[in-house]
Amino acid sequence: MKKQTIGATGAIILFLAVILCSCAKAEPQSVSFQSMDTLMTMKVYGGDSDLCDRLQQRITELDTQLDATDENSEIHQLNQKGTAKVSDDTADILERSLRLSGELGQAFDITVYPAVKAWGFTSGDYRIPDDNELKELAAKIDDTAVKSENNTFTLPDGAMLDLGAVAKGYAADQCGAILKESHAAAAVLNLGGTIKLYGKKPDGSRFSVGVADPDNPAGYFGYLSCEGGVVATSGGYERYFERDGKRYIHILDPTTAKPVENGIRSVTILCDNGTAADALSTALFVMGLDKATAYYQAHPDFDFIILTDNDNLYITEGITDDFTLSNGYDFTIKSVEIAATQTDTSR
Ligand code: AMP
Ligand code: MG
Protein backbone atom coordinates (compact mmCIF):
# COMPACT_ATOMS: atom_id res chain seq x y z
CA MET A 1 0.00 0.00 0.00
CA LYS A 2 2.77 2.39 1.02
CA LYS A 3 4.72 1.43 -2.07
CA GLN A 4 1.70 2.25 -4.29
CA THR A 5 1.27 5.70 -2.66
CA ILE A 6 4.90 6.56 -3.31
CA GLY A 7 4.49 5.33 -6.88
CA ALA A 8 1.44 7.56 -7.45
CA THR A 9 3.18 10.58 -5.91
CA GLY A 10 6.24 9.88 -8.02
CA ALA A 11 4.09 9.71 -11.15
CA ILE A 12 2.42 13.03 -10.27
CA ILE A 13 5.81 14.66 -9.66
CA LEU A 14 7.12 13.27 -12.95
CA PHE A 15 3.99 14.51 -14.78
CA LEU A 16 4.38 18.01 -13.27
CA ALA A 17 8.07 18.01 -14.16
CA VAL A 18 7.27 17.17 -17.78
CA ILE A 19 4.63 19.92 -17.92
CA LEU A 20 7.00 22.46 -16.35
CA CYS A 21 9.78 21.38 -18.63
CA SER A 22 7.69 21.66 -21.79
CA CYS A 23 6.39 25.07 -20.64
CA ALA A 24 9.98 26.23 -20.15
CA LYS A 25 10.86 24.96 -23.62
CA ALA A 26 7.94 26.82 -25.22
CA GLU A 27 9.21 30.12 -23.75
CA PRO A 28 12.09 31.32 -25.91
CA GLN A 29 15.27 32.88 -24.55
CA SER A 30 16.14 36.11 -26.28
CA VAL A 31 18.95 38.63 -26.42
CA SER A 32 19.83 41.81 -28.34
CA PHE A 33 23.30 43.25 -28.63
CA GLN A 34 25.54 45.28 -30.89
CA SER A 35 28.28 43.46 -32.82
CA MET A 36 29.84 43.47 -36.29
CA ASP A 37 28.74 47.09 -36.62
CA THR A 38 25.06 46.21 -36.42
CA LEU A 39 22.22 45.24 -34.08
CA MET A 40 21.76 41.52 -33.51
CA THR A 41 18.65 39.95 -31.98
CA MET A 42 18.19 36.29 -31.14
CA LYS A 43 15.26 34.15 -30.09
CA VAL A 44 16.00 30.55 -29.14
CA TYR A 45 13.62 27.73 -28.16
CA GLY A 46 14.97 24.89 -26.00
CA GLY A 47 18.61 24.02 -25.47
CA ASP A 48 20.88 24.95 -22.57
CA SER A 49 19.86 27.87 -20.36
CA ASP A 50 23.02 29.84 -21.21
CA LEU A 51 22.61 29.32 -24.95
CA CYS A 52 21.98 32.98 -25.85
CA ASP A 53 25.07 33.99 -23.85
CA ARG A 54 27.17 31.44 -25.72
CA LEU A 55 25.90 32.62 -29.11
CA GLN A 56 26.59 36.24 -28.21
CA GLN A 57 30.06 35.34 -26.94
CA ARG A 58 30.89 33.44 -30.14
CA ILE A 59 29.85 36.36 -32.35
CA THR A 60 31.76 38.87 -30.23
CA GLU A 61 34.84 36.65 -30.44
CA LEU A 62 34.56 36.45 -34.25
CA ASP A 63 34.06 40.21 -34.52
CA THR A 64 37.21 40.80 -32.46
CA GLN A 65 39.24 38.61 -34.81
CA LEU A 66 37.75 39.68 -38.13
CA ASP A 67 37.08 43.43 -38.01
CA ALA A 68 39.62 45.03 -40.36
CA THR A 69 39.05 48.45 -38.77
CA ASP A 70 39.93 47.20 -35.26
CA GLU A 71 43.66 47.60 -34.62
CA ASN A 72 43.71 44.53 -32.40
CA SER A 73 42.05 42.17 -34.88
CA GLU A 74 43.92 39.44 -36.68
CA ILE A 75 42.73 40.77 -40.03
CA HIS A 76 44.08 44.24 -39.20
CA GLN A 77 47.45 42.73 -38.20
CA LEU A 78 47.57 40.70 -41.40
CA ASN A 79 46.69 43.79 -43.45
CA GLN A 80 49.45 45.81 -41.77
CA LYS A 81 52.21 43.20 -41.98
CA GLY A 82 51.28 41.56 -45.28
CA THR A 83 51.90 38.15 -43.75
CA ALA A 84 50.78 36.61 -40.45
CA LYS A 85 49.86 33.36 -38.76
CA VAL A 86 46.20 33.49 -37.74
CA SER A 87 43.87 31.48 -35.47
CA ASP A 88 41.94 28.45 -36.77
CA ASP A 89 38.73 30.53 -36.91
CA THR A 90 40.27 33.25 -39.04
CA ALA A 91 42.01 30.71 -41.25
CA ASP A 92 38.70 28.89 -41.72
CA ILE A 93 36.72 31.95 -42.83
CA LEU A 94 39.59 33.07 -45.07
CA GLU A 95 39.83 29.67 -46.76
CA ARG A 96 36.06 29.53 -47.25
CA SER A 97 35.96 33.08 -48.62
CA LEU A 98 38.80 32.40 -51.05
CA ARG A 99 37.05 29.26 -52.25
CA LEU A 100 33.78 31.14 -52.78
CA SER A 101 35.66 33.93 -54.49
CA GLY A 102 37.10 31.39 -56.93
CA GLU A 103 33.56 30.22 -57.74
CA LEU A 104 32.04 33.70 -57.98
CA GLY A 105 34.70 35.17 -60.27
CA GLN A 106 35.42 38.89 -60.38
CA ALA A 107 32.17 39.94 -58.71
CA PHE A 108 33.46 38.98 -55.30
CA ASP A 109 36.92 39.71 -53.91
CA ILE A 110 38.01 39.96 -50.28
CA THR A 111 41.03 42.15 -51.13
CA VAL A 112 38.66 45.05 -51.79
CA TYR A 113 39.59 46.80 -48.49
CA PRO A 114 41.91 49.55 -49.84
CA ALA A 115 39.15 50.62 -52.25
CA VAL A 116 36.44 50.49 -49.55
CA LYS A 117 38.72 52.65 -47.38
CA ALA A 118 39.56 55.09 -50.19
CA TRP A 119 35.86 55.86 -50.73
CA GLY A 120 35.53 56.49 -46.97
CA PHE A 121 33.20 53.61 -46.19
CA THR A 122 35.35 52.49 -43.23
CA SER A 123 35.53 55.92 -41.57
CA GLY A 124 32.52 57.89 -42.80
CA ASP A 125 34.90 60.48 -44.34
CA TYR A 126 33.44 59.99 -47.78
CA ARG A 127 35.29 61.08 -50.91
CA ILE A 128 35.38 60.31 -54.63
CA PRO A 129 38.80 59.00 -55.73
CA ASP A 130 39.95 60.30 -59.14
CA ASP A 131 40.37 58.03 -62.17
CA ASN A 132 44.11 57.44 -61.62
CA GLU A 133 43.57 56.47 -58.01
CA LEU A 134 40.72 54.17 -59.01
CA LYS A 135 42.92 52.44 -61.60
CA GLU A 136 45.61 51.87 -58.99
CA LEU A 137 43.07 50.60 -56.47
CA ALA A 138 41.46 48.22 -58.98
CA ALA A 139 44.88 46.86 -59.97
CA LYS A 140 45.50 45.86 -56.35
CA ILE A 141 42.25 43.90 -55.96
CA ASP A 142 43.10 40.26 -56.57
CA ASP A 143 42.44 37.64 -53.94
CA THR A 144 43.63 34.85 -56.24
CA ALA A 145 47.16 36.02 -55.31
CA VAL A 146 46.63 35.47 -51.55
CA LYS A 147 48.84 32.60 -50.38
CA SER A 148 48.23 30.36 -47.39
CA GLU A 149 50.03 27.55 -45.62
CA ASN A 150 49.30 26.12 -42.17
CA ASN A 151 47.28 29.18 -41.06
CA THR A 152 49.95 31.61 -42.33
CA PHE A 153 48.51 33.96 -44.93
CA THR A 154 50.51 36.20 -47.24
CA LEU A 155 48.92 39.05 -49.17
CA PRO A 156 50.11 40.38 -52.51
CA ASP A 157 51.85 43.77 -52.39
CA GLY A 158 49.50 46.54 -51.29
CA ALA A 159 46.49 44.24 -50.84
CA MET A 160 44.34 44.29 -47.71
CA LEU A 161 41.48 42.04 -46.66
CA ASP A 162 37.86 42.94 -45.91
CA LEU A 163 35.53 40.21 -44.67
CA GLY A 164 32.51 42.54 -44.44
CA ALA A 165 30.71 40.63 -47.18
CA VAL A 166 30.89 37.23 -45.42
CA ALA A 167 31.42 37.72 -41.67
CA LYS A 168 27.75 37.74 -40.68
CA GLY A 169 27.01 34.67 -42.81
CA TYR A 170 30.00 32.86 -41.31
CA ALA A 171 28.80 33.86 -37.82
CA ALA A 172 25.38 32.40 -38.70
CA ASP A 173 27.04 29.07 -39.55
CA GLN A 174 29.05 29.10 -36.33
CA CYS A 175 25.88 29.80 -34.33
CA GLY A 176 24.17 26.92 -36.15
CA ALA A 177 26.86 24.55 -34.86
CA ILE A 178 26.34 25.78 -31.28
CA LEU A 179 22.54 25.42 -31.56
CA LYS A 180 22.99 21.84 -32.76
CA GLU A 181 25.49 20.98 -30.05
CA SER A 182 23.20 22.22 -27.30
CA HIS A 183 20.09 20.52 -28.75
CA ALA A 184 18.07 23.69 -29.30
CA ALA A 185 14.59 23.03 -30.72
CA ALA A 186 14.39 26.15 -32.87
CA ALA A 187 15.95 29.57 -33.27
CA VAL A 188 15.63 32.79 -35.23
CA LEU A 189 18.90 34.74 -35.21
CA ASN A 190 18.81 38.15 -36.83
CA LEU A 191 22.44 39.12 -37.31
CA GLY A 192 21.87 42.62 -38.64
CA GLY A 193 19.70 41.51 -41.54
CA THR A 194 21.38 38.14 -42.10
CA ILE A 195 18.82 35.74 -40.69
CA LYS A 196 19.60 32.23 -39.48
CA LEU A 197 16.52 29.99 -39.17
CA TYR A 198 17.08 26.83 -37.17
CA GLY A 199 15.00 23.77 -36.27
CA LYS A 200 11.21 23.57 -36.03
CA LYS A 201 9.12 26.25 -34.35
CA PRO A 202 7.10 25.00 -31.32
CA ASP A 203 3.77 25.52 -33.13
CA GLY A 204 5.04 23.69 -36.22
CA SER A 205 4.58 26.72 -38.49
CA ARG A 206 7.12 27.74 -41.13
CA PHE A 207 9.44 30.69 -40.56
CA SER A 208 8.47 33.98 -42.16
CA VAL A 209 11.22 36.46 -43.01
CA GLY A 210 10.56 40.07 -43.97
CA VAL A 211 12.57 41.46 -46.89
CA ALA A 212 13.66 45.06 -46.19
CA ASP A 213 12.28 47.86 -48.36
CA PRO A 214 15.36 49.73 -49.67
CA ASP A 215 13.39 53.02 -49.50
CA ASN A 216 12.37 52.37 -45.89
CA PRO A 217 14.64 49.66 -44.47
CA ALA A 218 12.66 49.46 -41.21
CA GLY A 219 9.72 48.17 -43.29
CA TYR A 220 9.33 45.06 -45.42
CA PHE A 221 8.15 44.93 -49.03
CA GLY A 222 7.31 41.28 -48.64
CA TYR A 223 7.67 38.10 -46.67
CA LEU A 224 9.39 34.84 -47.50
CA SER A 225 8.08 31.70 -45.88
CA CYS A 226 10.70 28.99 -45.44
CA GLU A 227 11.62 25.96 -43.38
CA GLY A 228 15.18 26.89 -42.44
CA GLY A 229 18.55 28.07 -43.75
CA VAL A 230 20.05 31.52 -43.91
CA VAL A 231 18.48 34.56 -45.58
CA ALA A 232 21.07 37.24 -46.44
CA THR A 233 20.35 40.58 -48.09
CA SER A 234 22.71 43.06 -49.74
CA GLY A 235 21.54 46.53 -50.63
CA GLY A 236 23.00 49.92 -51.37
CA TYR A 237 20.67 51.37 -48.71
CA GLU A 238 22.78 49.73 -45.97
CA ARG A 239 25.68 52.18 -46.46
CA TYR A 240 26.03 54.99 -48.99
CA PHE A 241 26.70 58.67 -49.42
CA GLU A 242 25.42 61.25 -51.86
CA ARG A 243 27.28 63.96 -53.81
CA ASP A 244 25.63 66.33 -56.27
CA GLY A 245 22.48 64.24 -56.23
CA LYS A 246 24.30 61.01 -57.04
CA ARG A 247 24.37 58.02 -54.70
CA TYR A 248 27.57 56.05 -54.07
CA ILE A 249 27.03 52.68 -52.37
CA HIS A 250 29.35 50.46 -50.30
CA ILE A 251 29.25 47.48 -52.68
CA LEU A 252 32.12 47.87 -55.14
CA ASP A 253 32.86 46.34 -58.51
CA PRO A 254 36.32 44.77 -57.99
CA THR A 255 37.22 45.32 -61.66
CA THR A 256 36.83 49.12 -61.40
CA ALA A 257 37.01 49.77 -57.61
CA LYS A 258 33.84 51.86 -58.10
CA PRO A 259 30.47 51.56 -56.36
CA VAL A 260 28.10 49.33 -58.31
CA GLU A 261 25.50 51.09 -60.50
CA ASN A 262 23.54 48.49 -62.39
CA GLY A 263 19.87 49.01 -61.65
CA ILE A 264 19.75 46.58 -58.70
CA ARG A 265 18.36 47.80 -55.39
CA SER A 266 18.66 44.67 -53.30
CA VAL A 267 19.57 41.01 -53.53
CA THR A 268 18.23 38.50 -51.02
CA ILE A 269 19.59 34.95 -50.94
CA LEU A 270 18.17 31.85 -49.28
CA CYS A 271 20.78 29.12 -48.85
CA ASP A 272 21.50 26.35 -46.33
CA ASN A 273 25.02 27.64 -45.86
CA GLY A 274 25.32 31.11 -44.30
CA THR A 275 28.80 31.97 -45.57
CA ALA A 276 27.68 31.14 -49.11
CA ALA A 277 24.40 33.08 -48.68
CA ASP A 278 26.30 36.19 -47.58
CA ALA A 279 28.95 35.94 -50.32
CA LEU A 280 26.25 35.30 -52.94
CA SER A 281 24.16 38.31 -51.92
CA THR A 282 27.14 40.61 -52.42
CA ALA A 283 28.40 38.88 -55.58
CA LEU A 284 25.02 38.70 -57.36
CA PHE A 285 24.50 42.38 -56.58
CA VAL A 286 27.77 43.13 -58.40
CA MET A 287 27.00 40.74 -61.29
CA GLY A 288 23.75 42.47 -62.20
CA LEU A 289 20.52 40.74 -63.17
CA ASP A 290 21.61 38.86 -66.31
CA LYS A 291 24.84 37.42 -64.92
CA ALA A 292 23.17 36.67 -61.58
CA THR A 293 20.46 34.74 -63.40
CA ALA A 294 23.03 32.82 -65.44
CA TYR A 295 24.99 32.04 -62.27
CA TYR A 296 21.86 30.70 -60.56
CA GLN A 297 20.97 28.60 -63.59
CA ALA A 298 24.42 27.02 -63.52
CA HIS A 299 24.43 26.52 -59.70
CA PRO A 300 20.80 26.20 -58.57
CA ASP A 301 21.59 25.22 -54.98
CA PHE A 302 20.23 28.51 -53.59
CA ASP A 303 17.36 30.90 -54.26
CA PHE A 304 17.23 34.65 -54.78
CA ILE A 305 14.90 37.64 -54.69
CA ILE A 306 16.28 40.57 -56.71
CA LEU A 307 14.60 43.98 -56.66
CA THR A 308 15.49 46.31 -59.53
CA ASP A 309 15.16 50.10 -59.94
CA ASN A 310 12.11 49.70 -62.16
CA ASP A 311 10.17 47.88 -59.41
CA ASN A 312 10.55 44.44 -60.91
CA LEU A 313 11.03 41.63 -58.46
CA TYR A 314 12.86 38.59 -59.83
CA ILE A 315 12.31 35.48 -57.71
CA THR A 316 13.76 32.04 -58.42
CA GLU A 317 11.16 29.38 -59.15
CA GLY A 318 11.91 27.38 -55.97
CA ILE A 319 10.53 30.16 -53.75
CA THR A 320 8.18 32.17 -55.99
CA ASP A 321 5.13 30.61 -54.31
CA ASP A 322 6.63 31.15 -50.84
CA PHE A 323 6.87 34.91 -51.28
CA THR A 324 4.04 37.31 -50.38
CA LEU A 325 4.14 40.97 -51.37
CA SER A 326 3.16 43.39 -48.57
CA ASN A 327 0.08 45.58 -49.00
CA GLY A 328 0.79 48.84 -50.80
CA TYR A 329 3.65 47.54 -53.00
CA ASP A 330 2.90 47.09 -56.68
CA PHE A 331 6.15 45.42 -57.72
CA THR A 332 5.92 43.14 -60.75
CA ILE A 333 6.95 39.62 -59.79
CA LYS A 334 8.86 37.64 -62.41
CA SER A 335 9.72 34.02 -61.71
CA VAL A 336 13.25 33.00 -62.72
CA GLU A 337 13.44 29.44 -63.94
CA ILE A 338 16.27 26.96 -63.93
CA ALA A 339 17.22 26.47 -67.56
CA ALA A 340 17.67 22.68 -67.59
CA THR A 341 20.25 22.77 -70.37
CA GLN A 342 22.62 24.91 -68.27
CA THR A 343 22.30 23.00 -65.01
CA ASP A 344 25.57 22.19 -63.25
CA THR A 345 25.19 21.14 -59.62
CA SER A 346 28.89 20.68 -58.99
CA ARG A 347 29.20 23.54 -56.44
P1 AMP B 1 27.26 42.84 -47.89
O2 AMP B 1 26.49 43.82 -47.07
O3 AMP B 1 27.26 41.44 -47.35
O4 AMP B 1 26.89 42.87 -49.33
O5 AMP B 1 28.80 43.26 -47.81
C6 AMP B 1 29.22 44.52 -48.25
C7 AMP B 1 30.57 44.82 -47.65
O8 AMP B 1 31.56 43.93 -48.23
C9 AMP B 1 31.06 46.21 -47.97
O10 AMP B 1 30.71 47.11 -46.94
C11 AMP B 1 32.56 46.04 -48.11
O12 AMP B 1 33.16 46.04 -46.83
C13 AMP B 1 32.69 44.64 -48.70
N14 AMP B 1 32.61 44.61 -50.18
C15 AMP B 1 32.17 45.57 -51.03
N16 AMP B 1 32.20 45.14 -52.31
C17 AMP B 1 32.67 43.87 -52.26
C18 AMP B 1 32.93 42.89 -53.27
N19 AMP B 1 32.67 43.11 -54.56
N20 AMP B 1 33.42 41.68 -52.86
C21 AMP B 1 33.67 41.44 -51.55
N22 AMP B 1 33.45 42.32 -50.57
C23 AMP B 1 32.94 43.52 -50.91
MG1 MG C 1 27.28 39.60 -48.27
Is 256 inside a domain boundary?
yes
Phi, psi (5° rounding) for residue 84? -165, 150
Please tell me the residue having the least CA distance from ligand 1 atom 6. Answer: 165
Region 179-194: mean pLDDT is: 97
90 within a domain of the structure (yes/no)? yes
Between the CA of 66 and the centroid of ligand 1 the distance, in Å, is 14
Q: Which atom of ligand 1 is nearest to the CA of 281?
A: 4
| Span 223-249, pLDDT tens digits | 999 999 999 999 999 999 999 999 999
- Interatomic CA distance for residues 281 and 144, integer angstroms: 20
Q: Whose CA is nearest to atom 15 of ligand 1?
A: 251
Residue nearest to atom 8 of ligand 1 (CA): 165
Query: Helix 88-104 and helix 167-181: axis angle, to 10°?
Result: 120
> Which range among 23-27, 105-109, 230-234 shows the weakest confidence by mean pLDDT?
23-27
- Ligand 2 ion: residues within 5 Å (CB): 165, 278, 281-282
Does residue 243 sit within a domain? Answer: yes
111 lines ligand 1 (CB under 6 A): no
Distance CA 296, CA 5 (A): 66
Q: Is 112 in the pocket of ligand 1 (CB under 6 A)?
A: yes
Please give the distance, rounded to the nearest whole angstrom, from the Cα atom of residue 167 to the centre of ligand 2: 8
Q: Partners of 220 in the beta sheet? A: 212
In a domain, 7, yes or no: no
In a domain, 3, yes or no: no
Closest CA to 122 of 111, 135, 113, 109: 113
Asked whether 287 lines ligand 1 (CB < 6 A), one says no
Closest CA to 118 of 102, 138, 100: 138
Ligand nearest to the CA of 193: 1
Average confidence score pLDDT of the chain:
92
Are 115 and 252 within 8 A, CB to CB?
Answer: yes
Q: pTM here?
A: 0.91
Q: Could you list the residue range(s) of the whole structural domain that residue 156 is in?
A: 16-346
Residue 194, pLDDT > 70, answer: yes
pLDDT of residue 342: 44
Task: For residues 303 and 62, give the distance between their C-alpha atoms in angstroms, rounded to a whole number.
Answer: 27
Quote the pLDDT of residue 26: 62
Nearest CA to ligand 1 atom 1: 165
- Asked if residue 5 belongs to a domain, the reply is no
Q: Tell how far the Cα of 100 is from the centroid of ligand 1, in angstroms.
A: 13
Residue 11 lies in a domain: no
Angle at 345 between CA 342 and CA 347, to 5 degrees: 120
Residue 343 has pLDDT above 50, yes or no: no
The pLDDT of residue 27: 84
For position 2, what pLDDT does the model report? 39
- Residue of the nearest CA to atom 11 in ligand 1? 164
Domain total for the chain? 1
**Dist CA 328 CA 296 (whole Å):** 29
Ligand 1 contact, 282 CB (< 6 A): yes
Q: For residue 181, how far is its CA from the centre of ligand 1 (angstroms)? A: 31
- E-state strands within the chain: 29-35, 38-46, 83-85, 147-149, 152-154, 184-191, 194-199, 207-213, 216-226, 229-235, 240-243, 246-249, 252-253, 258-259, 264-271, 303-308, 312-316, 323-325, 332-336
CA angle 208, 209, 213 (to 5 degrees): 140
From ligand 2's centre to the CA of 51, what distance in Å? 26
149 Rama class: left (phi>0) / alpha (psi -120 to 50) / beta: beta
Q: Which ligand is nearest to the CA of 163?
A: 1
Tell me the CA–centroid distance for residue 283 and ligand 2, in Å.
7
Query: Mutate which of 101, 106, 126, 162 to test ligand 1's pocket (most atoms within 8 Å of Cβ)?
Result: 162
Q: How many angstroms separate the alpha carbon of residue 251 from the centre of ligand 1?
A: 5
How far apart are the CA of 212 and the centre of ligand 2, in A? 15
Verify whether ligand 1 is closer than 6 Å to residue 63 (CB atom). Answer: no
**Across residues 297-302, what is the average pLDDT?**
96
User: Residue 273 is part of a domain; what is its CATH number?
Assistant: 3.10.520.10
